Amino acid sequence: METGRDRLRELLDAVLDEGNTTLDAMALGAYSSPFHFSRQLRRGAGEPPVAMRRRVMLERASWQLRRGSSVTDAAFAAGYESVEGFARAYARAYGHPPSATPGTTPTQDHRLPAPNGIHFHPPTSLWVHSTEQPMNPVTELMVGHDLDDTRSLLDEAKGLADDDYRREHLPGATITAWDGDESSVAAVLEHLVWTREVWLAAIEGSDVPSRGGDDVAALVARLDDVAPRWQAVWRDVDRRGAWDDVLVDALCDPPESFVLSSVLAHVLTFAAARRQLVRLMLRARGRTVDDGDPITWLRRRDQA
């Protein structure tokens, strides 16, 4: 009789098979329907198959980069259709672009947070089971959704004429008193990016960052720079269980103290308000935008 562990191994093999790049192909390789394949793998490993494959392929790419592979070769070996798409996914996962991956380092440095201790294990595509603590899934979801939703709104804003982008849609609108007027799409989107930049500087103990341009292209570049570092900070806080640590923010005058968990709650609270405010303004200019629901975002991400 087949054991649960043997069946799980079959499912994992189907996820990792080089030819199984879609959920349908994975399920076919495990002699199952896509629905039952996903349900069985979630039950056995606590992770959806497409997300697991994406993570493990990035781990393999990281290992390959550390051993001298080019970014282009690693990108296509990981199943990405473009180097740019691979670079964005890699930076979100590791907190730095693939070109900044260090040289030969201990094997485990390529591993990403996982809910199940299943990782790429060099030099061949093997699975490793361990007893590691999983990343808090709520934190991971909320931080990831906030960044991705901000990027999607920047993409929507590209379709606006500059007059509409800078027009006062809601005269006198403010989200927080200390940030001032946010009556235009440009102002709200700039505050969405700037908030992360300045808080990251406070957490890292660096100087107040230069405030870059507020046109869409400049904001996209600023977000691409700060997003992987922002994710890396909170993954490190979660890994260390440092949510109750106190940050003394010397960028304030006079310096103020903040509990780290309250900093993230603060940023996510006001970011959510700003993202919905941008949606109202975009709709007023005839743009069709979604609701920004994290449930929908998560479903799309898992099916991608």
Confidence of residue 107 (pLDDT cuts 50, 70, 90): very low
Confidence of residue 125 (pLDDT cuts 50, 70, 90): low
If you average pLDDT over every residue of the chain, what do you get? 85
Distance CA 182, CA 187 (A): 5
Distance CA 93, CA 72 (A): 17
Distance CA 154, CA 150 (A): 6
Task: Say if residues 215 and 190 touch (Cβ distance below 8 Å).
Answer: no
What pLDDT is stored for residue 18 in this prediction?
75
Long-range contacts of the stretch 18-25 (C-beta < 8 A, 24+)? 20/53, 21/53, 21/79, 23/49, 23/50, 23/303
Contacts of 298 (CB under 8 A, 6+ apart): 141, 145
Distance CA 13, CA 111 (A): 19
- Residue 278, phi then psi, degrees to nearest 5: -60, -40
What pLDDT is stored for residue 15 in this prediction?
85
What pLDDT is stored for residue 193 in this prediction?
96
Confidence of residue 114 (pLDDT cuts 50, 70, 90): confident
Distance CA 147, CA 223 (A): 8
Confidence of residue 188 (pLDDT cuts 50, 70, 90): very high
CA atoms in the 13 A half-sphere facing the CB of 18 = 5
The amino acid occupying position 158 is K
End-to-end CA distance of the chain: 35
CA dihedral of residues 150, 158, 191, 143 (deg, nearest 10): 10
What pLDDT is stored for residue 233 in this prediction?
87
Q: What is the pLDDT of residues 126-172, one digit of tens each?
A: 565 555 555 678 888 899 999 999 999 999 999 999 999 999 988 88
Distance CA 240, CA 135 (A): 11
What pLDDT is stored for residue 14 in this prediction?
84
Q: What structural domains and CATH numbers belong to the chain? A: 4-128 (1.10.10.60), 137-303 (1.20.120.450)
Confidence of residue 1 (pLDDT cuts 50, 70, 90): very low
Q: Quick check: 179 pLDDT over 80?
A: yes
What pLDDT is stored for residue 137 in this prediction?
82
Q: What is the pLDDT of residues 222-275, one digit of tens each?
A: 998 888 889 888 888 887 888 999 888 777 777 788 999 999 999 999 999 999
The whole model's pTM is what?
A: 0.62
| Largest CA-CA distance found in the chain, in angstroms, rounded | 70
